[in-house]
Amino acid sequence: MQQILQRASSTARTSRTLIIQQVQRLLSTQLEFTKDRYNIDRGKFGTLDDTHYGYFEDLLGKDRVIRDPEECEAYNVDWVKNVKGMSKCILKPKTTHEVSAILKFCNTHNLAVCPQGGNTGLVGGSVPVFDEIVLSTTLMNQIISVDDISGAVVCQSGCILETLDSHLAKYDLMVPLDLGAKASCNIGGNVSTNAGGLRLLRYGNLHGSVLGLEAVKADGDVVDCLSTLRKDNTGYHLKHMFIGSEGTLGVVTKVALQCPTRPKATNVAFLGTNSFQNVLKTFRKSKHSLSEVLSSFELIDAQSLNVVTKHFGKQCPISQHPFYILIETHGSNATHDEEKLHSFLAETMSDGVVLDGTVSSDPSKIADIWQLRETITAALQHDGYVFKYDFSIPIKTFYSIVEIMRERLGESAVTVCGYGHIGDSNLHLNITLKEYSEEVHGKIEPFVYQYTSQMRGSVSAEHGIGFRKSKYLQYSKSASAIGLMKSLKQMMDPKGILNPYKVLP
């Protein structure tokens, strides 16, 4: 594993993706079908026959209708090898017109469809549960236009996030979104799951930065909201229905994004402190002193860092403390930003809030520091079985669930750790055991969900609901809100052909 880690050294982000991919391959791929693991019945949808295949092959050509079982496998299993569908038909449209024709046909013939982008989702939303047709957007990868003055960028939904970002670099622009999965995930999937990521704190969420989109409804109707304007108050703001609804209300085919200027300077600080209260004080101060240049504020507790040093032999660049903070700045003037960051560090240290810290503007050192944060997920796999949670919790009580679970589980857990985007109140609680135990599972769930609900937190901060979390939706949404969601689904997709078994309970 250390060799894998060392080989993949170009950038922290890319190496994290590679490491996780290789860990995945090391894990058993002998995954049971979802339908056999979960107590779930197939919906009353039609079954594919030769007439259907004939229509698709006429529309797309044979090479874009995948029927070979081995080739279908990759589209049936999710990235974290957690769920497995049994689709026998993968369709690869290239245009909105083709998506529209496919959906119209499927709606008429009552055939269920699972839209799929880069298939990097973490909650089983992007793979079929039974034999749904997979509608893959991977060939819809055209970048349509870049307005280098306004920053409005239009592309098809199958563009890979990293590819789009590299293209924008030529215009000194960037995608206002950065994820571990950037090398594989599709922009349409990002929009459909309302992906958050590492720099939401600075660049905001997709509801703010999607200028417009084009989506196809279950009945094939194309909804054109592909505005490239920052201000457009003409009627209901329909595009937001498709942002975060995980492909259950429509298939996103094109996206217009407001892209910010690429920063000329990036700096990183890695700090150590002795209490969660001091983490909060540091965050508060960073918002006032670093303010407009702050691009990331991440928490790593000692237990999280410990798994990285233990399993991957990484070194902590500062002395040991109960809590570590990773701060990143993005700005237009390197000297100004370094001055701000150094004076911030000096002040927080002289106040006794931060006990140790290092600041760097050197890209390779920055990558090393980011690796400490980004390899936690992979390192945790080495402990044994991992329970993973992605909660949002109001910031003042952000860390309490980690302490409560540590106390509640005692010696029965190998590691109980918390890390994440504290700047967005987004906590990744992870609990590892030597091996899976139903008894320990019962001590963890549903308690963690109930606790998060009591704190008015979210049981899924950025990963979404997908297939695996639909039963937990009630912990974060009222009965009235869930009722309204069901009405929306009924209005948009009365036959329920779009991504069935997902999101709604």
Interface residue with a second copy among 65, 66, 290, 369 (CB under 8 A) is: 290
* C-alpha distances in Å from residue 69, one per residue of 51, 76, 89, 369, 481: 19, 10, 9, 43, 40
Q: Which of residues 59-118 bind a second copy (CB under 8 A)?
A: none
Least distance to a second copy from the beta carbon of 455, Å? 10
User: How many whole angstroms separate alpha carbon 391 and alpha carbon 8?
Assistant: 29
Residues touching a second copy, count (CB under 8 A): 94
User: How many whole angstroms separate alpha carbon 483 and alpha carbon 398?
Assistant: 29
Least distance to a second copy from the beta carbon of 328, Å? 13
Using CB under 8 A as the binding rule, whether residue 484 contacts a second copy is answered as yes
Region of 99 (left: φ > 0; alpha: ψ -120 to 50; beta: rest) is alpha
Q: Which is nearer to a second copy, 26 or 229 (CB)?
A: 229
Angle between helices 50-60 and 96-108 (to 10 degrees): 170
Interface residue with a second copy among 149, 407, 435, 439 (CB under 8 A) is: 149
DSSP state of 132: P
Q: Which stretch binds a second copy (CB under 8 A): 7-15, 104-112, 362-370, 484-492?
A: 484-492
Least distance to a second copy from the beta carbon of 180, Å? 15
Least distance to a second copy from the beta carbon of 339, Å? 8
User: How many whole angstroms separate alpha carbon 476 and alpha carbon 450?
Assistant: 9
Helix ranges restricted to H, 160-238? 161-169, 187-193, 200-203, 206-209
Least distance to a second copy from the beta carbon of 44, Å? 24
* C-alpha distances in Å from residue 168, one per residue of 184, 230, 259, 414: 17, 19, 9, 44
Least distance to a second copy from the beta carbon of 150, Å? 4
Q: Which is nearer to a second copy, 171 or 385 (CB)?
A: 171
Q: Which is nearer to a second copy, 336 or 434 (CB)?
A: 336
Using CB under 8 A as the binding rule, whether residue 141 contacts a second copy is answered as no
Interface residue with a second copy among 16, 254, 330, 495 (CB under 8 A) is: 330
Interface residue with a second copy among 115, 118, 180, 331 (CB under 8 A) is: 331
Using CB under 8 A as the binding rule, whether residue 48 contacts a second copy is answered as no
Using CB under 8 A as the binding rule, whether residue 288 contacts a second copy is answered as yes
Q: Which of residues 182-221 bind a second copy (CB under 8 A)?
A: 193-194, 196, 200-201, 204-205, 207-209, 221
User: How many whole angstroms separate alpha carbon 499 and alpha carbon 249?
Assistant: 9
User: How many whole angstroms separate alpha carbon 365 and alpha carbon 301?
Assistant: 20
Using CB under 8 A as the binding rule, whether residue 342 contacts a second copy is answered as no
Q: Report strand pairing: 113-116 vs 133-136.
A: parallel
Q: Which stretch binds a second copy (CB under 8 A): 19-27, 30-38, 288-296, 410-418?
A: 288-296
Using CB under 8 A as the binding rule, whether residue 317 contacts a second copy is answered as no
User: How many whole angstroms separate alpha carbon 15 and alpha carbon 8?
Assistant: 5
Least distance to a second copy from the beta carbon of 70, Å? 33
Least distance to a second copy from the beta carbon of 52, Å? 26
Using CB under 8 A as the binding rule, whether residue 147 contacts a second copy is answered as yes
Nearest alpha-carbon partner for 253 in 340, 360, 156, 374: 156
Q: Which of residues 216-275 bind a second copy (CB under 8 A)?
A: 221-225, 227-238, 240-241, 243-245, 249, 261, 263-264
Q: Which residues of 452-482 are buried (b: 16+ CB within 10 A; e: fewer)?
A: bbebebbbbbbbbbbbbbbebbebbbeeeee
What are residue 268's DSSP bridge partners? 328, 360
Interface residue with a second copy among 291, 320, 364, 450 (CB under 8 A) is: 291
Using CB under 8 A as the binding rule, whether residue 460 contacts a second copy is answered as yes
**HEC per residue, 59-99:** HHCHHHEECCHHHHHHHHECCCCCCECCCCCEECCCCHHHH
Least distance to a second copy from the beta carbon of 422, Å? 10
Interface residue with a second copy among 73, 339, 351, 403 (CB under 8 A) is: 339
Q: Which of residues 414-443 bind a second copy (CB under 8 A)?
A: 421, 424-426
Least distance to a second copy from the beta carbon of 401, Å? 14
Interface residue with a second copy among 19, 160, 183, 293 (CB under 8 A) is: 293
HSE at residue 8, side-chain half, CA atoms within 13 A, is: 20
Using CB under 8 A as the binding rule, whether residue 463 contacts a second copy is answered as yes
Q: Cβ distance 297 to 423 under 8 Å?
A: yes
Using CB under 8 A as the binding rule, whether residue 395 contacts a second copy is answered as yes
Token representation of residue 385: 């079985």
Using CB under 8 A as the binding rule, whether residue 499 contacts a second copy is answered as no
Least distance to a second copy from the beta carbon of 289, Å? 6
Token representation of residue 440: 């320990």
Q: Which is nearer to a second copy, 290 or 497 (CB)?
A: 290
Handedness of CA 21, 24, 25, 26 (dihedral sign): positive
The letter for the amino acid at 93 is P
Least distance to a second copy from the beta carbon of 407, Å? 25
User: How many whole angstroms separate alpha carbon 43 and alpha carbon 255?
Assistant: 31
